């Protein structure tokens, strides 16, 4: 499954990049992320909890940064597991930044992922709906973090 979206924020591209390159801040803006443990410059572990339909799930996910092109592109991959056996595979998560002037930036992302196990059988439409909710909340959290650091 692929999800993609873009958002515009009233902040300079460098300020947005600094947030994205810090996994504690960028992943902390993702809904449901309970902890971020940076192991190396390019590897970090996440604990993510979500309600997916009738299920409450908690994934342990390891993310690896595969490419960083400051301040315009970041590519990551990931692999996770949930206690009931559901596997989460993220072969590609691409974030792109585009300056739209001195104080405005467009953030676009495309994330490819697959769920294997109980959640994988729930169906595309429910997962797509949940991904859309998470995307909106991520955008709101990102703006809030950027506003705090700008103050």
Mean pLDDT of the chain: 91
Structural domain of 109 = 2-150
Q: pLDDT over 70 for what percent of the chain?
A: 98
| Beta-carbon contacts of residue 47 (< 8 Å; ≥ 6 apart) | 33, 34, 35, 58, 59, 60, 61
Q: How many CB atoms lie within 10 A of CB 24?
A: 14
Using DSSP bridges, classify how beta strands 33-40 and 2-9 pair: parallel, antiparallel or unpaired: unpaired
- ω into residue 71 within 30 of 0, thus cis? yes
| CATH number of the domain where residue 99 is located | 3.30.530.20
Whole-model pTM above 0.75?
Answer: yes
CA distance 80 to 101: 38
pLDDT tens digit string along 53-98?
777 889 999 999 999 999 999 999 999 999 888 899 999 999 999 9
Report pLDDT for 126: 77
Number of domains the chain is built from? 1
Quick check: 151 pLDDT over 80? Answer: no
pLDDT tens digit string along 18-50?
999 999 999 999 999 999 999 998 999 999 999
């Amino acid at each position: 499954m692929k999800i993609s979206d873009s958002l515009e924020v009233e902040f300079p591209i460098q300020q947005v990049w600094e947030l994205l390159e810090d996994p504690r801040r960028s992943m902390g803006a993702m809904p449901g992320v309970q902890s971020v443990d940076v192991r190396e410059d390019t590897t970090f572990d996440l604990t993510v909890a979500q309600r997916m339909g009738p299920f409450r799930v908690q994934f342990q996910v390891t993310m690896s940064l595969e490419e960083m092109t400051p301040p315009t592109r970041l590519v990551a991959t990931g692999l996770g597991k949930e206690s009931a056996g559901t596997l989460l595979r993220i072969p590609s998560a691409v974030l792109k930044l585009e300056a739209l002037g001195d104080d405005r930036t467009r953030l676009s992302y495309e994330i490819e992922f697959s769920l294997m196990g109980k959640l994988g059988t729930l169906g595309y439409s429910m997962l797509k709906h949940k991904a859309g909710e998470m995307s909106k909340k991520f955008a709101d959290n990102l703006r809030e973090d950027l506003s705090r650091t700008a103050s």
